[in-house]
Structure 1
């Protein structure tokens, strides 16, 4: 396969597609949004931090893809936030080809915090995925085409001690993805689940300097590693579904 053919393979199913990325202003979502725009997609991203959004859009401009990315500030844990997102989808795109459910918050043990905090985590990390998927499917089914990618976590399998709230949400995403695929595949909609190991993002308790050191030691992934995984899932022909993709740092021995 020539280099040009390989490049075509990676981008032909992405170029000019309309893609929504939740949690797209930082970490995995940011890297994915910029990479997909560079591959020719039209991207709408969501976030909750105006400074992060402006920084992402600034980088998009530097990369020459500023016209392909638009971002909005919204809270995905609320019904109003979901409505705002898909009103913008309809206004900007008119349809939706790809949904990347990525927005999530870190949290530790159920022994910590209070009901309001747990509720907010579950609404963000799990209910937000469900609600966005519902809205995306409504827009994909009439055209019998679409792709939903859920960014999960190794926590669904490893189930670390002192991480019970986060584990509950990521385990829910794992089960949701498996069941959803059976529900929508006959409607022409693909569902892929990507479960990363440790990734150097703001969700990590370690400092950026510590994260870079772990990356050098092969103990931590970079956000771009997961963005490439998204690109790979989307690049597949109609006959081929990437159902579940697990990505671990080489020396994260779990």
Structure 2
């Protein structure tokens, strides 16, 4: 019997790379995202390797999420792995200058969307006494940086929710992993900078950042270990990135 992985935010970046990695291994793919044309293209690409079920879905819509999971075809209804990848960052302004709409969208996607999908999928995993929830966090949830205010806070939520989820699932046979990438070259920065690709490119220039394929390999590794092994968290940076010195402000 083929196993099934459900990936949110599968239209680009980590999500698309993860779909490709698992398709190579013969896994059935449930790919969700907001951009139907990209989902269709991904399904066409991967259909040579495996069965692909797509869902045009905005994870911010709790009712739509619950309905989509409830209406999955029987062939893919038993989800073995959930990858909560859908998320975004918007803006790098200081908190006193930040756009409240940006903050709300990050909260609605990175926190609420992750909650809605997890809550819809988890009962089946618990009932079957097997499954794995992989949350895509960020080093921003561990370490602050200027302008990271709300985004970092949403990823700190993901970290703590992952820990509490592990506690709730004790003895249920369901694993939970929080993967926390550092600098990675995806559409992430272009979205953060509201489509300013030149600004996004400057961030990555000469930095040898992580790639989507790097993260997909980590997702694959953590989920293919024996069922009695749970990788709680993986914090990963490119070799070029490390922690900054602490800031000290002095009187001028």
TM-score, normalised relative to structure 2: 0.85
Q: Residues 16 and 253 (structure 1 numbering): CA distance in 2 closer, same or farther, change over 3 Å?
A: same
Q: Which residue of 1 aligns with 2:250?
A: none
Q: Distance in 2 between matches of 1:141 and 1:210?
A: 41
72, 81, 93: which is aligned to 1:98? 81
The equivalent residue for 2:11 is 25
In the TM superposition, residue 242 of structure 1 has moved relative to its aligned partner by 0.9
Cα distance in 2 for partners of 1:236, 1:195 equals 19
Q: Where does the alignment leave 5 or more consecutive residues of structure 1 unmatched?
A: 1-14
Native 8 Å contact 2:65 2:116 kept in 1: yes
Which digits, 9 at most, give the CA deviation of each residue in 1:180-226, with x for residues without a partner? 111113111000010001111111247489759948x4531110000
1:83 paired to 2:56: no
Match of 1:73 in 2: 56
Which residue, out of 143, 156, 179, partners 2:141? 156
The alpha carbon displacement at 1:117 in A equals 3.8
Q: Give the TM-score normalised by the residue count of structure 1.
A: 0.85
How far the C-alpha of 1:92 sits from its partner, in A, is 4.6
Counting matched residue pairs gives: 235
Structure 1 contact 103–124 (Cα < 8 Å) conserved: yes
2:198 and 2:68 map into 1 onto residues whose CA distance is 30
- Residue 192 (structure 1) aligned with residue 181 (structure 2): no
For the Cα contact (< 8 Å) 1:146–1:189, is it kept in 2? yes
Indicate yes or no: 2:229 matched with 1:240. Answer: yes
The corresponding residue for 2:26 is 40
Unpaired runs of at least 5, structure 2: 191-195, 244-252
Q: Which moved more, 1:33-42 or 1:67-76?
A: 67-76
Structure (1 or 2) with the greater helix fraction: 1
Q: The residue matched to 1:194 in structure 2 has which SS? A: strand
